Amino acid sequence: MKRYWEIDALRGLMLVLMTITHLPTRLTDPLGQPFGFVSAAEGFVLLSAFVAGLVYSRISYNRGVDSMRQAFWRRALKVYLSQAATLLFLFTIITAVSLRIDQPAVKNLLSFYLANPREGFIFSLLLVYEPALLDILPMYIFFMLMSPWVLAFAMRHGWAGVMVASATVWGLAQFGLSEWLYELAVRYVGLPVPFHEMGAFNAFAWQFLWFTGLWMGASRNAPAAQPFRFPTWLLVVAGAAALYGFYWRHHGINGQAPFGGDVELNLLFDKWQLGPLRIVNLVVLGILAIRFGPDFMRRIPRLHWLEAMGRASLPVFCAHLVAVLTVLAVFGDSQTARPWWGDVLLLGAVFSGLYGVARTVQWWDERGQPPGALAEPLRD
């Protein structure tokens, strides 16, 4: 299958934005949600789902549903092992450093584990306890385990039922589905992990984004697949809405909180719940990216360093977590603890390391491969 370098570059861009957002520097706030009230996390999940739908539906067409299911499970296992390795790094090296220098930023992040090390360790490996920053991959694993069944059903019966069910679950998530299930788990199983320690992302809401991307990717392999096309009026509306969201985000007095201190209204744009207006903002940006993105990418020089990071998205993502946790343990979470030149040096060192990880992964994959082999498959 042809490899789309544009998608690799976009995923690399999402990784860059996530790294800048998570590292405590003066660029954290200005480059957080840079295009409106949408973060790099939405783009990364949507692109990953699109690639998964593209790749694994092709496996199903060529080798059957069983092969597709096994490929999903192998990927889920790889992601789980990456999560487990990152957790071990957090619970050993980062914990030791933060306790030795009495670093509040990490001690707050690890408050449940420090108070309950045995339960914290066990339930983190069970993907129930999810410390801050380490709550994206468990959600990703959850989606990967569900995807083969959903994809097989959709390829046989169509996507309408799948997307209606997914939208229904998203709607229920806006009204407390996760909290209700948590209360049942506490009541009948005695779950000891507090709700706020189970990850900031509401997976029941974010699954809508994942299955939308899965549908979009799988649809490209359908026998009668047509290019995505949008009427002119919709492009005009999307452009106006995207510009308004961009202006509101960067020139409004409230920054990343669109309605300031109004908690109820801010839920409409809430990241963790994937609020309805946040989805609207993402949709209009997606329409513009699909329509104008390919032409734009052809007119600029290829950014090979972004492509390399996008190709090795999982190792680079884990490496970015290691870098962020290390910085938090050593310097704390203050965004102004260093002068400007210190932030520049820090970002330069981190991104050099991430690019080094990407190139190392590429070198490792190329060992023993025939010339041009890696140019063929598009892997998630």
pLDDT at 261: 82
Decide if pLDDT at 380 tops 60: no
**Of the listed ranges 211-220, 252-261, 306-315, 319-328, the one predicted with least confidence:** 252-261
Rounded Cα gap, residues 360 and 105, in angstroms: 31
Q: Which one has a higher pLDDT value, 207 or 256? A: 207
For residue 293, being part of any structural domain is answered with: no
- Across 17-46, average pLDDT: 92
For residue 353, being part of any structural domain is answered with: yes
Phi, psi of 256 (to 5 degrees): -80, -5
* 339, two tokens: 């002068």
For residue 105, being part of any structural domain is answered with: yes
For residue 183, being part of any structural domain is answered with: yes
For residue 199, being part of any structural domain is answered with: yes
For residue 23, being part of any structural domain is answered with: yes
Rounded Cα gap, residues 66 and 69, in angstroms: 5
Q: What's the one-letter identity of residue 221?
A: N
User: Percent of the chain scored above 70 by pLDDT?
Assistant: 95
- Across 293-315, average pLDDT: 91
Rounded Cα gap, residues 189 and 116, in angstroms: 18
DSSP 8-state secondary structure symbol assigned to residue 130: B
For residue 173, being part of any structural domain is answered with: yes
For residue 276, being part of any structural domain is answered with: no
pLDDT at 369: 61
Domain range holding 313? 5-233+306-375
pTM for the full model? 0.91
As a whole number, the mean pLDDT across the chain is: 91
Rounded Cα gap, residues 93 and 222, in angstroms: 48
Rounded Cα gap, residues 370 and 361, in angstroms: 17
Decide if pLDDT at 215 tops 80: yes
| Structural domains counted in the chain | 1
Assign 368 a pLDDT band (cuts: 50, 70, 90): low
Decide if pLDDT at 112 tops 80: yes
pLDDT at 220: 84
